[in-house]
Amino acid sequence: MLEIDATRIPLEFDSGASIPTPFYIYDFDVLDRRLTRLRDRFAGLFQPSFAVKSNPNRALIGRVLSCIDHIDASSAHEVERALSVGVSPDHISWSGPGKRRSELEVLSKLGLTIVVEAEDEIELLSEITASYSAPQDIVLRINPDHVPKGFGASMSGNPSQFGIDEPAIGHAIDLIKRAPGLRLSGFHAYTGSMCLTPEPIAENIANLCAIFRKAVALAGIVPRTLIFGAGFGIPLHAGQKALDIDALHALVEPHIRELASDPVLGAARRLLEVGRWISGPTGALVSSVLSAKTSRGLAVAVCDAGFNNHLAACGMMGSVFQKNYPIQAIRRQGSADDPPQEQMLAGPLCTSIDQLARRIELAPLRRGDAIAVLMSGAYGLTASPTRFISHPEPAEYALSDGKLTDISESGLNRLGSLIPGLRP
Ligand SMILES: Cc1ncc(COP(=O)(O)O)c(C=O)c1O
């Protein structure tokens, strides 16, 4: 089983006391299986790097580390989260547009790889590191010209805050070469996300190999790190099928084997940045029905979680139209023979856009029933405006070997002073 199984989601603690909803639950055994599958399938080709932004829960990052050891952090506080669970700095890459001077000052002392995304960022970092005894390793993020057709949500080929446009990399490389305190150690590209078909992902990886070769030749370096943004999607809506990673492996292997045999690029570590494919299917948001009624002929169940707890399921994270996530009833008072009926699952917020599902076929729900929004382990809790309308923040639980552990975090960015100087 490579997805959380709704029938395994407990609604009670061992003591028999019910678990207050809403809550997120992550099945760590499923997480282990997904990580092992990814690592083993691409062994020898890539080293997976977990994109913390998809789920920054520290217990979850800790569990990821039992299988893979590289982390992609997108903010200084994500770096701090990774360090707090024992990731070594040389296994962290820090990317993201708009890095603050104060963060660059503090994090450049730690020995991680900084992915630079703009020429003024290169200048700023060089100003800071020029006086250091050893140069800061940087990786240059490239915004490729070409995005394969059918790639999913694209982050390239258009005006963008991410990276250096492909035609401008020569200029950026010259700038880095002249900048004291910096050592160009490789290249990064992340073209987009949520692709469910192997061919465009393979085409993208082949394209990145070509771009990295060109960039390495321009820079005249022996790269130490090449970071491939994977774009692996997960099926979220009816009719979507899981990405076939065996087929993808077969398509990608020749390109990577060729790169690996290159006398200049061959020895570089090749990181594959993956977020949602790892964490998404492991998790669910569990919510109770607070009220059920019929409005103008449609059954409406008002749940205790809405877009304040799961922005993406409510269609507000990059989708043009809301399409329902997979949702199942996990506690229901009606009879097992009740036929499914079309219903709206609304959230508790005072706005009509707060709908977990606009129209979904489910057996009738009543006050006190509970539903699980599956495929919610990525871009769930921390990608949602939890403070809007001040409802209680969902707890987070890990399920492993049938045991439930509370792994809730509040005050996400207040870990204390693990990195001295970082603003809380
Ligand atoms: C640079 C970078 N790497 C990795 C990811 C992770 O993407 P996903 O969760 O779709 O795998 C993202 C997502 O936006 C990203 O911007």
Going from N- to C-terminal start, the domains of the chain cover: 95-274, 281-406
The answer, yes or no, to whether any atom of ligand 1 lies below 6 A from the CB of 113, is no
pLDDT for res 418: 77
For 320-369, strand residue ranges (E) read 327-331, 341-346, 355-362
Contact 144, 189 (CB under 8 A): yes
Enter the DSSP assignment of 226: E
CA atoms within 13 A on the CB side of 232: 28
Q: Helix, strand, coil shares of the chain as percentages rounded to 5?
A: 30, 25, 45
| CATH fold match for the domains 95-274 and 281-406 | no
- The two tokens of residue 168 are 């401008």
Interatomic CA distance for residues 236 and 335, integer angstroms: 28
Q: Higher pLDDT residue, 138 or 322?
A: 138
Q: What is the mean pLDDT of residues 25-38?
A: 98
pLDDT for res 423: 67
Is the pLDDT confidence value at 157 over 80?
no
The answer, yes or no, to whether any atom of ligand 1 lies below 6 A from the CB of 93, is no
The answer, yes or no, to whether any atom of ligand 1 lies below 6 A from the CB of 192, is no
Interatomic CA distance for residues 219 and 120, integer angstroms: 19
Q: Mind listing the pLDDT tens digit for each residue in 261-312?
A: 999 999 999 999 999 999 999 999 999 999 999 999 999 999 999 999 999 9
The answer, yes or no, to whether any atom of ligand 1 lies below 6 A from the CB of 162, is no
Is the pLDDT confidence value at 416 over 90?
no
pLDDT for res 411: 56
Nearest CA to ligand 1 atom 15: 190
Cα(209) to centroid(ligand 1), Å? 18
Cα(192) to centroid(ligand 1), Å? 7
pLDDT for res 415: 62
Q: What is the mean pLDDT of residues 11-23?
A: 96
Is the pLDDT confidence value at 78 over 70?
yes
The answer, yes or no, to whether any atom of ligand 1 lies below 6 A from the CB of 143, is no
Is the pLDDT confidence value at 153 over 90?
no
pLDDT for res 159: 87
pLDDT for res 1: 84
- The two tokens of residue 269 are 């570590």
Fold topology of 95-274: TIM Barrel (3.20.20)
Residue of 38, 46, 49, 54 to mutate, ligand 1, most atoms within 8 A of C-beta: 54
pLDDT for res 322: 85
pLDDT band with cut points at 50, 70 and 90 for residue 166: very high
The answer, yes or no, to whether any atom of ligand 1 lies below 6 A from the CB of 95, is yes
C-alpha distance across the termini of the chain, in Å: 39
- The two tokens of residue 125 are 């970092």
User: Helices in 130-229 by DSSP H: which ranges?
Assistant: 169-178, 198-219
- Specify which residues 361 forms β-bridges with: 342
CATH says 281-406 is which class? Answer: mainly beta
Is the pLDDT confidence value at 412 over 60?
no
User: Helices in 152-197 by DSSP H: which ranges?
Assistant: 169-178
Q: How do 395-400 and 47-51 pair as beta strands? A: unpaired
Backbone angles phi, psi at 92, to 5 degrees: -125, 130
Q: Mind listing the pLDDT tens digit for each residue in 201-244?
A: 999 999 999 999 999 999 999 999 999 999 999 999 999 999 99
